[in-house]
Amino acid sequence: MHDERRRIEERVERILEQRIRPAVHADAVPFAIEAWQAPGEPVPFEEAAAQSYEPFVTGTPWGPPWGTTWFRVRGEVPAHWAGRRVESVFDLGFVGDWPGNQAEALVHTVDGTPLKAVNPQNQYVPVAHPAAGGERVDYLIEAASNPDILADDFRGPTPLGDPATAGRAPLYTFARADLAVLDENVWHLSLDLQVLRELMLELGEHEPRRHEIMHALDRALDALDLDDIPGSAADVRELLRPVLARPAHASAHTMSAVGHAHIDSAWLWPIRETKRKASRTFSNVTALAEEYEEFVFACSQAQQYAWVRENYPQVWERIKKAVADGQWAPVGGMWVESDGNLPGGEAIARQLVHGKRFFMEHFGIETKGVWLPDSFGYNAAYPQLAKLAGNEWFLTQKLSWNQTNKLPHHTFWWEGIDGSRIFTHFPPVDTYNAEFSGKEMAHAVRNYQDKGGGTRSLAPFGHGDGGGGPTREMMERARRLADLEGSAKVRVEHPDAFFEAARAEYPDAPVWSGELYLELHRATYTSQARTKQGNRRSEHRLREAELWATAAALRIPGYDYPYKWLDRLWKTVLLHQFHDILPGSSIAWVHREAEAEYARVAGELEALTSEALAALGEGAPQVFNTSPLNRAEVVRTPDGGLTYTEVPGSGSAALGTGTAPRPVTTTDRVLDNGLVRVEFAADGTLASVRDLVAGREVLAAPGNLLRLHSDLPNYWDAWDIDKHYQNRFTDLLDAESVTVVESGPLLGAVRIERAFGKGSRITQTVTVRAGSRRIDVETDIDWHEAEKILKAAFPVDVRADRSTAEIQFGHVHRPTHTNTSWEAARFEVYGHRWVHVAEPGYGVAVINDSTYGHDVSRTTREDGGTTTTVRLSLVRAPRVPDPEADQGRHRFTYALLPGATVQDAIAEGYALNLPLRVAEAGPVAPLVTSDNPAVTVEAVKLADDRSGDVVVRLYESLGGRAHATLRTGFPLAGAQVNDLLERPLAGEAVSCDGEAVTLTLRPFQILTLRLARA
């Protein structure tokens, strides 16, 4: 037989694209259109409906950036269409091939009922099936002219991410508004041809099935009358029926498909637009559920449900019905799909608590899994946190973006730092916006890493980010692919059903231990530093407010614990931990609003804390310690003086309590407190840091060396830092001044001022305090660089085989060598409050109050010694998607801690992030104390059920087994181990004798205790 593949393949493509698809809605009549442009921000339907509308015609430009145009369309179904399937079809002037982040619209009836959205790949709104003829159709359409930020493929800066710079020129040209007949035979024929053609092209050239399909398509198209496609479509479909009916092989891979619409809670659009994106997509989904009874849609992010419930009650009622009908699956159990690395441990716990409770309260459903397809890596505490929230499975997708190494599994047990394991799946289709294309189907089968162990995978399908979610075309393709020879079998089902089946067939799946590090998007640990600082400080302020409000509630009759305030403020902070806000990868509008929200949160939490302390009574000034650990520090008094005070963890002490330590002596560029001696070079770097207790030099080269690197990644500017950044840099060694600004006895400080780059300035105050080995570097930067990253280096004289960094509820070890590609790929990593490097017998920690990104490297000196260098990433200057990212003022502190153990690093990490507070209030004995420093109290609050019980969350922080006695500053009636949602945890018990609770914790175990008061 002659090889006619090219002729047939090209024939099928041309006829499908140029003849059949245009005939799907060939019979059409135009709507009459009027328009009204909202002058500013979006308005409610009632306000828009009351406006005066002007005549509007297709072909007219419309929609300034971030604008809202309301269209009124009117039409009448022609009488001769009676009995046919009539739809409204709209093309707002859609651009590009991405269905999200451009023009979108929500279609309403004239009484304000939302019907369905209009999106680039979902342009129809049902009118009647069958139509009666003569029916009047009258809609009001809220159209958003969101700019296509991705139009230039992120090749350069765009002004469109901020209304102040976006301009007012119309972005789109209205292309179509018609009443049309959906020719169902033609439409189904187009889908038959598409599925078969794409399957054929993915099969091997020597596979008989490919040639069978090819010749069947060729013969079928011979029956198509190109002058009467509607009249001949049914005959062509009948000829294709046998080739579509051939069943899949018994060993074919099974693809469990679930509808999905990944909607970033903010990214290339502001939060206010996400509220509308959710309503549009959810209206589409509920409409599709009515049309396809087998349809199942998985949707995470309780915050988005809450927005729809508040702003679109009719859509909310449709969601509730779909949930009740089993067609809508709340998943994920988190308030938002947060970043997987940067939120603190308690914040991730609250993400799970608030998310799961929302679904339980409103749907009576407890979600079983964590759904995080798009976050930029996942911390090693997640398995334990997920299980403590009652979850059984974990889903991610982003690891398919790895630059260097391919994860060796798609279905596996993920093991956390405490040994907890959770069943995890990583869909081999390598997308969470699948469409069931032939390429996707074939890729998933080829890519699946666990052949021979498992036989199934999950495929989330649907257009995300405002693209409208799953479509009827996807559902039709899924039906055709349910049992088709040459393809994987598609089964639309709930994610819980997939995970149950996958675990049953593959219970001995391999284990991946430790963090799931994404070998990409490493700059998200640093970009938009003010957003990250706002999150870090909000987390600690929330801890502070909860602790002192609990103290007031326990000791002051009539004090009203601020449940509602704390709930609202926590949800604000959780929202801004979304994986494109906290990582710094959103447009300018988003980050400007985030900074304003953090300022508001700070103000409200300060008021809550002050009120709680004031409620504790009047008295001489007290020093309050929110840290769980005892502290002895130099404290600034209300009159501006200094005093040394010892304060118990979670309690208070009078100013000046404690034994005065040896004073700080200050000579020319030397600070000495008897514990450390710091010498400054003329250029302002640390020439020497001498540990006077250990009798050794800490630094192997000048410390606090500021290095400015060129930083232009290959693609994702705000997201990525590529390894070549290391090759071009300037050391900031020209100090304008090095000045002693504090000279003891309790505090010595030297200020260094520098100017550099394009008008940037940095002022650093290096402080040594009496009684402390910690050397603080208070930093004030006025930053005006572009495509640069600033790092601060501490080359220490220790040979460290690994670095240790704090993560959520514990820490992780990372090798300092690069023996393998896996280690080499970790050239930039994240940590929370501290990084520690050590050799046997001696360690050094670098502490911070708001930075996350860092790198650790090791070199051998000419003298044979080893230098381990810790470098903090302080600030970046990406220009995409926010051209002004990080520009302006930054204030933060980092510190060097010589002679530090991991336990010391933990203590000083808390101390730097939770400054002692001086207030005129009654003394407060510690609320909760542990007699084992390894058992660290992370949160103290009243139980959410308002029972008056006290909830304490603690963890083993050193990585070993720990026995501890927990004592309370209030009468104790009993203790119970709870899960994160404050429910009794089966099989867990602690000993309580009325005065104390006796605990035994495994390494890094998290324990939530509910303490009943006597």
Residues annotated as catalytic (active site), given as ranges: 374
Which is it for strands 136-145 and 621-625: parallel, antiparallel or unpaired?
unpaired
The angle at the Cα of 815, spanning 411 to 514, to the nearest 5 degrees, equals 25
3-state SS class at 768: strand
Distances 529 to 540, 639, 662, 877 between C-alpha atoms, Å: 17, 33, 37, 10
Cα dihedral 596, 599, 603, 609 sign? positive
Which has the closest alpha carbon to 353: 997, 982, 1011? 982
Tokens at 421, concatenated? 């394991």
For tokens 């504790």, name the residue. Answer: 616
Contact between residue 808 and residue 377 where contact means Cβ atoms under 8 Å apart: no
Contact between residue 84 and residue 181 where contact means Cβ atoms under 8 Å apart: yes
Contact between residue 378 and residue 426 where contact means Cβ atoms under 8 Å apart: no
For tokens 């006695």, name the residue. Answer: 965
The angle at the Cα of 677, spanning 676 to 680, to the nearest 5 degrees, equals 135
Q: Quick one: three-class SS letters along 493-515?
A: CCHHHHHHHHHHHCCCCCEEECC
The C-alpha torsion from 436 through 494 and 271 to 883, rounded to 10°, is -40
DSSP 832: S
Contact between residue 771 and residue 719 where contact means Cβ atoms under 8 Å apart: no
Which has the closest alpha carbon to 956: 517, 338, 345? 345
Contact between residue 634 and residue 769 where contact means Cβ atoms under 8 Å apart: yes
Residue 753, CA atoms < 13 Å, CB-side half-sphere:
5
Cα dihedral 349, 354, 356, 361 sign? positive
Contact between residue 637 and residue 655 where contact means Cβ atoms under 8 Å apart: yes
Which residues lie below 8 Å from residue 871, measured CB to CB, with a gap of 6+? 707, 791, 792, 793, 794, 854, 855, 856, 857
Which residues lie below 8 Å from residue 136, measured CB to CB, with a gap of 6+? 74, 75, 76
Contact between residue 872 and residue 779 where contact means Cβ atoms under 8 Å apart: no
Residue 646 phi/psi, 5° resolution?
A: -100, 130
Contact between residue 162 and residue 113 where contact means Cβ atoms under 8 Å apart: no
Which is it for strands 393-395 and 369-371: parallel, antiparallel or unpaired?
parallel
- Alpha-carbon distance 169 to 164, whole Å? 13
Which residues lie below 8 Å from residue 621, measured CB to CB, with a gap of 6+? 637, 638, 654, 655, 918, 919, 920
Cis, peptide link before residue 383, omega less than 30° from 0: no
Determine the longest span between alpha carbons in the chain, in angstroms.
100
Burial (Cβ within 10 Å: 0-12, 13-18, ≥19) of residue 183: buried
- Alpha-carbon distance 762 to 791, whole Å? 13
Which is it for strands 729-731 and 735-743: parallel, antiparallel or unpaired?
unpaired
Let me know how many helices (H) and strands (E) the chain has, helices first: 19, 55
Q: H helices of 777-862, where?
A: 821-824
- Alpha-carbon distance 397 to 377, whole Å? 10
Contact between residue 461 and residue 452 where contact means Cβ atoms under 8 Å apart: no
Contact between residue 848 and residue 894 where contact means Cβ atoms under 8 Å apart: yes
